[in-house]
Amino acid sequence: MMIDPYLVDTPAGTLRGTSRDDGGVLFAGIPFAAPPVGPLRLRPPRPARPWSGIRDATEFRAAPPQRAPALMSTGTAATSTPLTGPAGPPKIDYDEDCLYLNVWTPDPTGRRPVIVWFYGGGFDVGSAAPPMTDGGALSRLTGAVVVTANYRLGALGFLHLADLGGPGWEGSSNLGLQDQAAALRWVRDTIASFGGDPGNVTAAGESAGAFCVGALLTMPAAVGTFHRAILSSGSTARIFDTDTATGIAADLLAALDLRTVDDLLDLPVERILDVQTSVVDSDIGRRNLPGGRSWGVVHDGTVLPRHPHQAVLDGAAAGLDLLVGANRDEVRLFQVMQGAAYQPTDEAGLLAEIRRAGVAAPERLLAGYRRRAPNGSLADLRTLLLTDAVYRLPASRLAAAQTAAGGRAHAYLFAAEPFGADLGAFHAADLLFLFDGLERFGKATPELVEVQQDLTRAWAEFAATGDPGWPAYDPAATANTRQFGGDADRVTEPPDDDVTSAWTSPA
């Protein structure tokens, strides 16, 4: 008797998937938690209800509620990128009932490595479905079973109410992160039915998704659900304290003219979306540097008992293999998109921002950046600063912390320029390669296709074995980082120059 490859039995019930053009099978719109609506709004995820009969799993579900973030709407530059698409930002259909995941499997009867992908989008936007996330492309290029999961965004996903709401609200912090942990538990318990190996799961993400993976590394509710992690443009560094997070929550209530946290349960979701950007910073620097306000992971003491970076230093993630990557010119995209709004007012303003980044000798650091970019404008120098402060240096520090704790980490720098030198290797440029979008954007040159093959091969080998194909990171070694694109296969991260020394030197 032939087994129907489109039917899969799970603990919750039977699912019917659909065939993929490449011969694999897609199972879409699978509930991994109860709908977070009504009394479950702003609450930790609850288990999904089982069903009887065969549930259709051939259609993607809507994205979490969201609005276009200020980071993408400031300025007037029109740029076609993986963040916007060839025709501008895609229209996103959303629904508060959003906790669903998708499984792309090459063979439901196999036993393949699993990659669980968490999308980026600044904690403001994102979707686990195409066009924003093409798990089918990632599965095809890596040979892995790929799972993509929605998680709540903005205020609905990262409003910290545990210190403001009183009794009954203690668990309402890092809700989007709790959604991700619930999805990982679903994968641990269920993925074998889809041809995945529950003993070989890689948690991966880009930008906001990667910062979440950095927290999941040591989050108690996620322990034992994955064995490797890939962080693209993320680290363990972007964590907000409870005072900042509680202040944002109080300001949201005030903006909505509400007296109690319980009043949030009765509001139309559109009202929350309309005001949530008004209580956080919109500038890429202000929202990411110390003292900034944004949606994101909170060191709340319960969901995250310890700061993730300190926990990694103490060995809490030493049993996990890490692949940590950053893009060479991360913040160039925001410089181009935001135009005049991005420009520092003057050199004094830029020096003040350098101090805010924690540099004791800002003049020395600025002089070092000027040596790296002799003809750079103040905006160019700001881009170098923020790229290092938010992405490249925290990535190297995470790899170094894992190594110091006795774990294993590999590092890479993405340096390909799919849109040319003006944008460089910008934030999210690697998604064009991972989701097989070069041809769609008219960028499938032999050189860029080779970069894509090298990058996806490294991800595939890492997901399968924990070794992407180059030596583990050694912070004291030269050429300690694999580079994809650019003029060399190996580079030193952070670079051995006066910029790097200025980041750590006393005044």
2 lies in some domain:
no
Q: Give the domain CATH number at 357.
A: 3.40.50.1820
73 lies in some domain:
yes
3-state secondary structure of 484: strand
* Rg value, the chain, Cα: 22
Q: Concatenated DSSP letters for 91-117?
A: P--B-S---EEEEEES-TTS-EEEEEE
207 is a catalytic site residue: yes
410 is a catalytic site residue: no
1 lies in some domain:
no
Pair of tokens at residue 367 = 């002089």
Range of the domain at 278: 7-504
185 lies in some domain:
yes
State pTM to two decimals. 0.96
Using H for helix, E for strand and C for coil, what is the string for 154-205?
A: HHHHHCCCCCCCCCCCCCCCCHHHHHHHHHHHHHHHHHHHHCEEEEEEEEEE
Q: Of residues 206, 227, 427, 493, which has the active-site annotation? A: 427
Report the 10 Å Cβ neighbour count for 4. 10
270 lies in some domain:
yes
53 lies in some domain:
yes
- Please name which of 92, 67, 432 lies closest in space to residue 232, comparing C-alpha atoms: 432
Pair of tokens at residue 74 = 């400031």
482 lies in some domain:
yes
Q: Of residues 96, 206, 330, 417, which has the active-site annotation? A: 330
pLDDT by residue for the chain (507 residues), tens only, comes to 345 669 999 999 999 999 998 889 999 999 999 999 999 999 999 999 999 999 999 999 999 999 977 565 444 333 445 555 555 556 789 999 999 999 999 999 999 999 999 999 999 999 999 999 999 999 999 999 999 999 999 999 999 999 999 899 999 999 999 999 999 999 999 999 999 999 999 999 999 999 999 999 999 999 999 999 999 999 999 999 999 999 999 999 999 999 999 999 999 999 999 999 999 999 999 999 999 999 999 999 999 999 999 999 999 999 999 999 999 999 999 999 999 999 999 999 999 999 999 999 999 999 999 999 999 999 999 999 999 999 999 999 999 999 999 999 999 999 999 999 999 999 999 999 999 999 999 999 999 999 999 999 999 999 999 999 999 999 999 999 999 999 999 999 999 999 999 998 775
Pair of tokens at residue 77 = 């530059």
If phi over 0 gives left and psi between -120 and 50 gives alpha, with beta otherwise, what is residue 63?
beta
Domain count, the chain: 1
427 is a catalytic site residue: yes
Residue 415 · residue 425 · CB < 8 Å? yes
Q: Of residues 127, 139, 193, 207, which has the active-site annotation? A: 207
